[in-house]
């Protein structure tokens, strides 16, 4: 039987009703709770994390590293046989164009606390690998599809408010991952032979895409005009630096909308090599970003209707 955990009662109950899985409501920092939910589990997929690019290191460490340690200890004590960690290719990003990045690449410095602590969690997962508890990590890049609450909604909101600008020449290409492709990779990781464990894998769609062409395609699908305004990359980085500095001086807890990392991610090329996932994990991505955009737009228009045009 499938089980999942979360902290939001309404969403958890709705997902349980839709899937037939059992919902545990609780906090992964609560050690007795974690031990309880891991009891008698054959395998665990760990996809909880603190994301974002703003906030204190200690908070990211607590939510990304300590939580992972809690789960690993609970799994080791419960007899679980497989632990799949959902990590991130954000660990590679260093404000430069990076093409065909392989799993053994690490930058000289991590770009933010999220990337640093997710890598630290990966190290814990790798160190916990044994014949009794076999572990592995996946690094999916930019997960897209119906229900996305990150990139696509942000682009739509910025275009509707007149704030969206193409940064640089708009020719940068990026790897993306349709949610169905990620689910396939998770199946391979959870149910594959023991030989797939003890490793880390890049996960992405079969082909990268021009980021700004994809954004224009999204905007057209929700009946919004394409991006026509443009700003030079150095100017955008300068403005973002000013905003960040002001927010830090004012000790603002809310993440600024304009930040250097966000600017760089929208301007730089960033693609992954997925050869190892194909060869060793048995990963076969088939769903494309075109499908992701169409599915997202259909779901968005169903929820927002005429409001999406305003």
Query: Could you list the active site residues?
Result: 114
Are 27 and 7 in contact by the 8 Å Cβ rule? The answer is: yes
Q: CA–CA distance from 226 to each of 215, 230, 289 (Å)?
A: 8, 12, 18
The sign one gets for the Cα dihedral 133, 139, 145, 148 is positive
Are 136 and 121 in contact by the 8 Å Cβ rule? The answer is: no
Q: Label residue 224 exposed, middle or buried (CB < 10 Å: 0-12, 13-18, 19+).
A: middle
Q: What is the DSSP letter of 205?
A: -
Q: What is the DSSP letter of 206?
A: S
For the chain, helix, strand, coil in percent to 5 are 50, 15, 35
Are 44 and 71 in contact by the 8 Å Cβ rule? The answer is: yes
The sign one gets for the Cα dihedral 110, 115, 121, 125 is negative
Cβ-based neighbours of 183, under 8 Å, separated by 6 or more: none
Q: Label residue 160 exposed, middle or buried (CB < 10 Å: 0-12, 13-18, 19+).
A: middle
DSSP β-ladder status, 3-6 and 22-25? parallel
């Amino acid at each position: 039987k499938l089980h999942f955990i979360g902290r939001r009662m309404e969403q958890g109950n709705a997902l349980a009703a839709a899937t037939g899985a059992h919902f545990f409501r609780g906090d992964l920092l609560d050690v007795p709770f974690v031990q309880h939910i891991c009891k008698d589990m054959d395998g665990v997929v760990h996809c909880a994390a603190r994301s974002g690019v703003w906030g204190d290191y200690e908070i990211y460490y607590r939510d990304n590293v300590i939580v992972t340690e809690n789960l690993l200890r609970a799994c080791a004590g419960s007899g679980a046989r497989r632990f799949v960690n959902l990590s991130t290719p954000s660990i590679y990003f260093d404000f430069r164009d990076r093409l065909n990045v392989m799993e053994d690449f690490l930058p000289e410095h991590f770009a933010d606390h999220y990337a640093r602590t997710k890598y630290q969690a990966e190290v814990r997962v790798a160190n916990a690998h044994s014949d009794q508890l076999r572990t592995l990590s996946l690094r999916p890049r930019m997960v897209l599809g119906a229900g996305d609450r990150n990139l696509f909604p942000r682009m739509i909101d910025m275009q509707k408010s007149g704030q969206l600008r193409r940064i640089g020449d708009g020719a940068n290409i990026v790897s993306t991952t349709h949610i169905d492709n990620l689910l396939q990779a998770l199946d391979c990781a959870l149910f594959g032979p023991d030989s797939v464990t003890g490793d880390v894998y890049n996960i992405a769609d079969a082909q990268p895409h021009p980021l700004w062409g994809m954004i224009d395609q999204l905007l057209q699908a929700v009946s919004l005009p394409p991006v026509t305004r443009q700003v030079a990359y150095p100017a955008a980085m300068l403005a973002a630096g000013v905003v960040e500095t002001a927010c830090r001086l004012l000790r603002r807890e809310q993440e600024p909308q304009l930040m250097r990392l966000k600017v760089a991610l929208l301007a730089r090329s960033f693609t992954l090599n997925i050869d190892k996932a194909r060869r060793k994990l048995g990963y076969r991505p088939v769903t494309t970003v075109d499908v992701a955009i169409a599915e997202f737009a259909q779901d968005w228009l169903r929820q927002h209707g005429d409001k999406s045009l305003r």
